[in-house]
Copies of this chain bind each other. A is one copy, B any other.
Amino acid sequence: MALDEFQLIQRFFKERCAAYSTNVCLGIGDDCALVNVPDGFCQALSMDTLVSGVHFPETTLPQDIAYKSLAVNLSDLAAMGASPAWFSLSLTLPAIDEDWLTAFSEGLFELANEVSVPLIGGDMTKGSLSITVQIAGHVKECVAMKRSTAKVGDDIYVSGTLGDAAAGLRVHAHTDLTEEFAPLIRRLNRPTPRNALGGRLAGVASSCIDVSDGLMADLTHICVSSQLGADLHVASLPVSQSLQNLLHRFSMNEREKLKLLLGGDDYELCFTAPEAVESMVKTVADQAGVPVTKIGKMKVGDTVDWVGLDSDVLSLTQCGFKHF
């Protein structure tokens, strides 16, 4: 006999969830979960929905869909400098497929248990495939990294490399390329949330955002919130070896390259910090094991301007992902 909704939740989610932390008084299985926030801390909250065919290709494996759904939410906590505390999951499925659910829950708890964030509840409904995660973390309010607090003259940094996921999206459907460019496809399907870095940047960086919509779009959010402009050095944008290989293999020009670099879905941190703390930024990046690159500077104004960009590429100032 097919499992009902409650048995499915028990089997694929409750049983696979690692032990709850001391801050979770009551987990999956009642009308509400009950949690505590440690004294002196604020709760940071973010909610992201991933829709099949919009946020991931329809051919994406269930374990990767699950991994990405949690990773993009963890990334929002990283951008705030908050430590992950718990998450809830609403899963909408066209039908029950136990193999699919087995794979999905494996991908989910691979990441959840790695970062020790328990699943405390959620919902399971019938409909077109989509996944909503609400995540919560803890952070001291005085060091939470907002978008609105960048200052004139602050350096702009980005973690890791840009454009890998956008490149992965271009090659994932070409079976003759998937092996050669597996690292790019992995960056698309399994983004690495930068929580170790974000937690250490709290109190050091003056503002932070995670790069989901694309560097230009997301840096613009910092600029608008902080009522400032920015200069971006195009030659400084960090590019992975895998992406270099792709650019070379397909003889892509500067315009095509920049389009990938600004394509979004990176889940790197873009943050600002005063010049005076540059050595501290390098230290915490080393501690977190994540490279960071200085890519520009905040300035008076209301535009993001490129430095070192050929005029024929300059029209490509707005790139990134828009839903509507």
Instruction: List chain A positions with a Cβ less than 8 A from chain B.
Output: 2-5, 8, 25-26, 29-37, 42-55, 76-77, 79-80, 82, 88-90, 92, 95-96, 120-128, 130, 132, 134, 137, 139, 141, 144, 146-148, 208-210, 225, 322-324
> Is B54's CB under 8 angstroms from A44's CB?
no
Chain B contacts of A92 at CB under 8 A? 49, 51, 130
**Chain B residues with CB under 8 A of A132:** 47, 49, 90, 123, 132
Complex interface: chain B residues within 8 A of A121 (CB):
45-47
For the complex, give the distance between the alpha carbons of A81 and B53 in Å. Answer: 40
Q: Are B76 and A32 in contact (CB under 8 A)?
A: yes
**Are B32 and A80 closer than 8 Å at their CB atoms?**
yes
Interface-central residue, A52, A127, A208, by most chain B CB under 10 Å: A127
User: A95 to chain B: which residues have CB within 8 Å?
Assistant: 324
Contact of A45 among B44, B80, B120 (CB under 8 A): B120
A5: which of B42, B76, B324 is its contact (CB, 8 Å)? B324
| B128-A49 in contact (CB<8A) | no
List the B side residues contacting A37 at CB < 8 Å. Answer: 36-37, 43
CB-based closest 7 A-B pairs? A51-B127, A32-B44, A31-B79, A128-B128, A134-B134, A32-B80, A132-B132
Copies of the protein in its oligomer:
2
How far, in Å, is A278 (CB) from chain B's closest CB? 23
Q: Are B55 and A44 in contact (CB under 8 A)?
A: no
Residues of B within 8 A of A42 (CB): 25, 34-36
Contacts of A26 in B (CB 8 A): 144, 146
CB atoms of A323 and B32 under 8 A apart: no
Cα–Cα, bound, A31→B88 (Å): 17
Question: Are the C-beta atoms of A210 and B80 separated by less than 8 Å?
Answer: no
Report how far A35 CA is from B95 CA in the complex, Å: 36
Which of B2, B125, B209 interacts with A49 by CB under 8 Å?
B125
Q: Which residues of B contact A324 (CB under 8 A)?
A: 2-5, 8, 95-96, 124, 126
Minimal beta-carbon separation of A35 from chain B (angstroms): 5
Chain B residue at smallest Cβ distance from A269: B31
User: Chain B CB within 10 Å — which of A35, A77, A121, A130 has the most?
Assistant: A130
B31 close to A123 (CB less than 8 A): no
**B-chain residues with CB within 8 Å of residue A5 when the two chains form the complex:** 322-324
Question: A51 touching B90 by the CB < 8 A rule?
Answer: no
What B residues does A77 contact at CB under 8 A? 31-32
Most buried by B among A26, A79, A210: A26
Question: Can you name 21 A-B residue pairings with CB atoms under 8 Å?
Answer: A29-B225, A31-B77, A31-B210, A32-B45, A32-B76, A32-B79, A34-B42, A34-B44, A34-B45, A35-B42, A46-B121, A47-B134, A51-B92, A52-B127, A53-B127, A90-B132, A124-B323, A125-B323, A126-B323, A126-B324, A134-B134
A324 to B2, CA, bound (A): 9
Distance in Å: Cβ of A77 to nearest Cβ of chain B:
6
* Complex contact B30–A147 (CB within 8 A): yes
